[in-house]
Amino acid sequence: MEHRFADCTLDDTRLTLTRDGAQVAVEPKVFDLIHLLVRHADDLVTRDQMIEEVWAGRIVSESAISACIAAARKAVGDDGKTQAVIRTVARRGLMLVAVVTVGEKKSAPRPPINGSGNAQRIRYTSTIDGHRLAYALTGSGPAVTRFTPNMTNDLETEWHIPTTRRMIDAISVQNLLIRSDTLGSGQSDRRVAELDFARQADQMCAVLDAAKVDRAAILSESGGVLPAIYMAANHPDRVTKLAIMGGYVDGPDRRATSRPVDPIRTSIDAGWDKSHSGFLMGWVSSYCPEGPLEDLRAITEMARQATSRETMLAIRDQLNAASIASLLPKVHCPTLILHARHDAVHPLDEAQKLAAGIRNAELMVFDTANHLPVAGHPLWDQYVSTVTAFLAD
């Protein structure tokens, strides 16, 4: 069903919000708040109603509620001063004051690339040694490819997780997004796990060839920065720009002369073969201590099913021992580095080393302890808007 108000259309079937005909990227709780307001247009929506529907009755801070309201206003083209769409009723709640009309969804034009609707189509290409490599395309515009943390992704599963899907949709509004599963994981061939970052970069070039794309920007997260840097350094003609979130130069084993047993590796070893294991929740909580937990559980289970315990332990050992310091001077494309100020997994110092080593790179610091952003966190919208703005040019 479509709810039309002001210059916006909220489609609660496709879970989309458009303004002036252009899709607006909103995180799930912001969408849910707008949906609540349009269903109760011209009626007061109390704080208790918001908490019950948007946060499922959980205890939530006033700052989180205020951030969600501000993001909702921004999404519909309103602000706290004008309040032409969403009005604050002092000490009572909110009211959507724009006229709302409700109708069946209009038939939409076919998306430019198969997969940008509610179903995606996974494609395959082959490596030079005959292994199957899965990839998917969404959206249209300047090409963007993505390096996720090694061996933890599955194209099919991430399509249904709100955090990953919201980012896919946000980029696909303006770019052709090319996603793939690393060889040894997800929908790609699992007969062999390629633990060589240079070869992973070569595999991404094979995916670009299959998609008939000459050059693309790269979005990389956490351990995905390693093959991304290899690609930018060794295939500069194929990379237009580079965005890095939660990256590092030297693995943990190289940062200190003596290091105790890796607790994350211990958690993986103990819990990988157990669905919804407490060990693995400890692992993911060390990356994102500020939550929220809803999507983290799904992301953890996706990682567990994406590859084997043996492969994950091997990649963990390689990530811990890796260094890309020698490659940084070879990266010449525009580079944006984003990092959490209180990241306990890869400290801010590692991001500063990246920024210092790559010519003309820029560093943006987010005031959080979460290693990677998660939908529902107060900084999620800022992260999405920063990344999409960088990739849009």
**Which residue range forms the structural domain that includes residue 180?**
122-392
Q: Are residues 173 and 91 in the same domain?
A: no
Q: What is the domain-level CATH number for residue 170?
A: 3.40.50.1820
In a domain, residue 113? The reply is no
In a domain, residue 250? The reply is yes
**pLDDT reported for residue 260:** 67
Q: Are residues 254 and 326 in the same domain?
A: yes
- Concatenate the DSSP letters of all residues of 145-179 into one string: EEEPSTT---HHHHTTSHHHHHHHHHHHTTSEEEE
**pLDDT reported for residue 257:** 62
**pLDDT reported for residue 152:** 82
In a domain, residue 114? The reply is no
pLDDT digits (tens, 9 = 90+) for 354-372: 999 999 999 999 999 999 8
Can you list the residues of the chain whose pLDDT is less than 70? 104-119, 192-194, 257-260, 276-277, 393
Q: Are residues 15 and 154 in the same domain?
A: no
Tokens (6 digits) for 313: 């332990």
In a domain, residue 115? The reply is no
Q: Are residues 146 and 41 in the same domain?
A: no
Q: Are residues 95 and 208 in the same domain?
A: no
**pLDDT reported for residue 119:** 65
pLDDT digits (tens, 9 = 90+) for 60-90: 888 889 989 999 999 999 998 889 999 999 8
**pLDDT reported for residue 192:** 66
Q: Are residues 249 and 353 in the same domain?
A: yes
Q: Are residues 81 and 126 in the same domain?
A: no
**pLDDT reported for residue 144:** 96
**pLDDT reported for residue 107:** 43
Percent of residues, the chain, with pLDDT higher than 70: 93
Contacts of the segment 51-58: beta carbons below 8 A, 24+ positions apart: 54/29, 55/29
Question: Where is the domain boundary, 54, 76, 103?
Answer: 103
Report how many domains make up the chain. 2
Q: Are residues 45 and 168 in the same domain?
A: no
Q: Around Cβ 266, how many Cβ atoms within 10 Å? A: 13
**pLDDT reported for residue 393:** 67
Q: Are residues 75 and 186 in the same domain?
A: no
**pLDDT reported for residue 194:** 59
Q: Are 326 and 300 in contact (CB under 8 A)?
A: no
Q: Are residues 182 and 229 in the same domain?
A: yes
Q: Are residues 70 and 133 in the same domain?
A: no
User: What predicted TM-score, i.e. pTM, was given to this entire model?
Assistant: 0.69
Q: Are residues 85 and 139 in the same domain?
A: no
Q: Are 122 and 180 in contact (CB under 8 A)?
A: no
User: Which residues pair with residue 178 across a beta bridge?
Assistant: 137, 145
Question: Where is the domain boundary, 103, 135, 168?
Answer: 103
